[in-house]
A and B are shown apart, each in its own frame.
Chain A
């Protein structure tokens, strides 16, 4: 069976990553291996297995507020901040 192909350059551009040609080749082969491993799941015969019914009472939450984090602790994780905003590189589509 041939290894499934994935366009690593496309995925990298979606994730805003810049890859060298060497990295692209390396990741293509690595991800291909992962995908072909996952593909083995498709070999399993599941036609006779009944679909799992979700539980009647799913884990839902009542619409009641719980405490939030303090502004200080929220901002403490941010690489940059100003005026209580988390600052990121300019984003305009």
Chain B
């Protein structure tokens, strides 16, 4: 037994997600990333005395929508609280957040096997499809962006006051691979609901990780360490892999794990102590006196319910059931809704839906990576699939048609005519080719009759060459066999 299999990791995530709205959480300043610094500010989001916050209805609705998509209970009455701390990225010296009465509680994220890292998608862990429970989702305001210089810091307050959801998981995750799939699966749901673009590399989704280790079978948790500075889903996986190994090695040497926050350095591939948590942060939460409680049960929750989309898991089931695609293809299509919409249109008019999926996911994507701007009309794929399935062209010819279709998009039927590719399925014409083949290759005929079944391939090759590749191979095979056995 390897030493690592005696230990089990326990992982919980706190995921911050920027809510996509036009304006900030408590004022009408524009919620827009990348604009000139300090240009989307007003007395409210600068925390000037005398200003009053007014909540953004859309941000609340999108948070409720997120809760509904994740199976949370929606609080009929939610409240805002002040979280007090003194830091220059927060102009008021407190952040409006939610403490006792968040908008959403409970719920969970089911781990999609195909959103595990590629090389472990076939593992039992990936196939298990575990559901990771959520503690809660609350809504708060984001803080400003800081830039650190040698001897001072500079602040751009544009992001201060923009709506931010915090999604907190239970400590249900057991491996870096599960954490990877959790974030991918969660992101896919957020994208489906149009709640956020949730791109970690752009800071639209940010993740703090709590991780501890314990001997397998032990109920009590070990001392947990918080990891920060995780800027991608794969970064989370790498950081966890490192940190779990570090903790196991320390435990096996009998060292105590310090209760601390560690910073992941992606380049060094290691975590480093940021601060020890001798004293818990004292945020002195209290109810936000400037804001009324929010009733969600008077229309707000209902309006969110109407926005619940077809969820990724539902879409995957439908694609497999109605389109006959493989689970893997269903997963790829689900992860790109624009591509999926294109595919659904392409496959709508044809019974050969799986064939269309093969073309779109393999050949099409490699030549036309953006289905939203492609000049190739989706119906053309259905037409092409029907031409192959009906025997008008063979699959080698289909490849030629496909290449032409990408180069100058027009109806595959037209292309077949233009390239002179129509397959010969007329049996009298094929019969004549076959007679010619038999006459010209007495050796192969002899071999075949002597029991060398492969010898027929030479005859087929002759027919294909004579017909310039247009002969229907299945029919040729049939005719040759009947002639040779006569």
Contact = CB atoms under 8 A, between A and B. Distances in A.
A55 B291 CA distance: 12
Nearest to A66: B28
B6 to A, nearest CB: 35
Say what secondary structure dominates the interface of chain A: loop
A61 B36 contact: no
A13 to B, nearest CB: 9
A47 interface: no
Contacts of A59: 54-55, 292
Given A58-B293, A60-B55, A85 B154 contact: yes
Contacts of A63: 21-23, 56-59
Given A55-B292, A63-B56, A64-B22, A91 B41 contact: no
A15 B59 CA distance: 31
A74 interface: yes
Given A61-B57, A63-B58, A86 B155 contact: yes
A54 B77 CA distance: 8
Interface stretch (B143-151, B185-193, B212-220): B143-151
A1 interface: no
A77 B46 CA distance: 10
A68 B41 contact: yes
Interface in B135-180: 146-157
Contact of A90 (B151, B293, B294): B151
B151 A14 contact: no
Contacts of B84: 14
Given A60-B55, A65-B22, A87 B153 contact: yes
Interface string B48-91: 00000011111110000000000000000100000011111100
A68 B39 contact: yes
Contacts of A77: 46
Interface residues of B, number: 51
Nearest to A17: B86
Nearest to A81: B154
Nearest to B298: A56
Q: Which among A60, A62, A71, A93 has the greatest number of chain B C-beta atoms within 10 A? A: A60
Q: Which among A10, A15, A61, A88 has the greatest number of chain B C-beta atoms within 10 A? A: A61
A76 B459 CA distance: 89
Nearest to B27: A66
A75 B275 contact: no
B120 to A, nearest CB: 35
Q: Which among B27, B36, B41 has the greatest number of chain A C-beta atoms within 10 A? A: B41
Contacts, number: 130
A89 B152 CA distance: 5
Contacts of B56: 60-61, 63
A93 B282 CA distance: 16
Contacts of A92: 148, 153
Interface in A37-71: 54-69, 71
A2 interface: no
A84 interface: yes
A85 B156 contact: yes
Contacts of B77: 54
B85 to A, nearest CB: 7
B30 interface: yes
B41 A69 contact: yes
Nearest to B150: A90
Contact of B294 (A58, A75, A83, A88): A58
A61 B55 contact: yes
B275 A93 contact: yes
A55 B29 CA distance: 26
Given A61-B57, A63-B57, A64-B22, A87 B28 contact: no
A59 B39 CA distance: 26
Interface of A: 10, 14-16, 54-69, 71, 74-75, 77, 80, 82-93
Question: Which 7 pairs of residues, A with B, have the shortest CB-CB distance?
Answer: A66-B28, A85-B154, A63-B58, A54-B293, A60-B57, A88-B88, A84-B37
24 contacts: A14-B86, A55-B295, A56-B295, A58-B293, A60-B55, A60-B294, A61-B23, A62-B57, A63-B22, A63-B59, A64-B22, A65-B28, A65-B30, A66-B28, A66-B29, A67-B28, A68-B42, A84-B36, A84-B37, A84-B156, A85-B156, A87-B155, A88-B154, A91-B89
Interface of B: 21-23, 27-30, 36-43, 46, 54-60, 77, 84-89, 146-157, 274-275, 282, 284, 292-295, 298
Given A60-B56, A64-B23, 18 more contacts: A16-B86, A55-B295, A64-B22, A65-B22, A68-B30, A69-B42, A71-B39, A74-B39, A84-B156, A85-B154, A86-B38, A87-B155, A88-B152, A90-B152, A90-B153, A91-B146, A92-B148, A92-B153
